[in-house]
Structure 1
Amino acid sequence: MTTLAATKDSAGSGWWSGLLGVVIFSGSLPATRLALRDFDPMFLTVARASIAGLLALVMVLWRNESRPRRGEWLSLAVVAAGVVVGFPLLTAMALQHVTSAHSIVFIGLLPLATALFGVLRGGERPKRAFWVFSLIGSALVAAFAVREGVHAAPAGDALMLLAIVLCGLGYAEGGRLARSLGGWQVISWALVLSLPLMALATLWWWPAGLGDVSTAGWLSLAYVALFSMFLGFVFWYRGLALGGIAAVGQLQLLQPFFGLALAASLLHEPVSAAMLGVTVAVVLCVAGAKKFAS
Structure 2
Amino acid sequence: MSNTHNTERKALIYGLIAVLLWSTVATAFKLTLAQLSPIQMLFIASLVSVCTLMIICAYNGTLSQIRTTFLSDPGYFLLLGLINPLAYYLILFKAYDLLPASQAQPLNYSWAITLTLMAAIFLGQKIRKQDWVACALGYLGVLIIATKGDILALQFDSPLGVALALLSTLLWAGYWILNARNKANPIIAVLLGFIVSLPFSAALVWYEGLSWGEIDTTGWLAVVYVGLFEMGITFVLWLTALKNTKNTARVSNLIFLSPFISLMLLAQIIGETIYPSTIIGLIFILLGLAVQQIKFTKK
TM over 0.5: yes
- Tell me by how many angstroms 1:249 deviates: 7.9
- Tell me by how many angstroms 1:102 deviates: 1.4
Corresponding residue of 1:76? 77
1:125-204 alignment, distance < 5 Å: 127-146=128-147, 147=149, 150-174=155-179, 176-177=181-182, 180-202=183-205
TM-score by length of 1: 0.76
User: Which residue identity lines up with residue 25 of structure 1 in the other structure?
Assistant: W
Question: In the superposition, relative to structure 1, how do residues 155 and 281 fare at CA in structure 2: closer, same or farther (>3 Å)?
Answer: closer
Question: In the superposition, relative to structure 1, how do residues 198 and 167 fare at CA in structure 2: closer, same or farther (>3 Å)?
Answer: same
Supply the distance in 2 between the matched residues of 1:266 and 1:175 (Cα, whole angstroms): 38
Corresponding residue of 1:229? 231
Supply the distance in 1 between the matched residues of 2:125 and 2:11 (Cα, whole angstroms): 16
TM-score by length of 2: 0.75
1:254-265 alignment, distance < 5 Å: 254-265=257-268
Corresponding residue of 1:27? 24
- Tell me by how many angstroms 1:139 deviates: 2.7
- On the 8 A contact 2:29/2:226 being kept in 1, the answer is yes
Which runs of 5 or more structure 2 residues have no equivalent in the other structure? none
- On the 8 A contact 2:39/2:201 being kept in 1, the answer is no
Supply the distance in 2 between the matched residues of 1:125 and 1:243 (Cα, whole angstroms): 26
CA deviation map 1:11-65 (0-9, x unaligned): 9999986665454333333211111111122111122112222333454466333
Supply the distance in 2 between the matched residues of 1:293 and 1:87 (Cα, whole angstroms): 34
CA deviation map 1:158-185 (0-9, x unaligned): 11111121122223434652xx223312
User: Which residue identity lines up with residue 225 of structure 2 in the other structure?
Assistant: Y
Is 1:39 matched with 2:32? Answer: no
CA RMSD of aligned residues (A): 4.0
- On the 8 A contact 2:116/2:131 being kept in 1, the answer is no
- On the 8 A contact 2:45/2:226 being kept in 1, the answer is yes
More helix by share: 1
Deviates more, 1:68-77 or 1:150-159: 68-77
Supply the distance in 1 between the matched residues of 2:17 and 2:120 (Cα, whole angstroms): 24
Which runs of 5 or more structure 1 residues have no equivalent in the other structure? 1-5
Question: In the superposition, relative to structure 1, how do residues 20 and 40 fare at CA in structure 2: closer, same or farther (>3 Å)?
Answer: same
Q: If you compute each CA radius of gyration, which structure gives the higher value, 1 or 2?
A: 2
- Pairing partner for 1:275 from 270, 275, 278: 278
- Tell me by how many angstroms 1:132 deviates: 2.6
Q: Kindly tell me the number of residue pairs found equivalent between the two proteins.
A: 283
Supply the distance in 2 between the matched residues of 1:187 and 1:223 (Cα, whole angstroms): 18
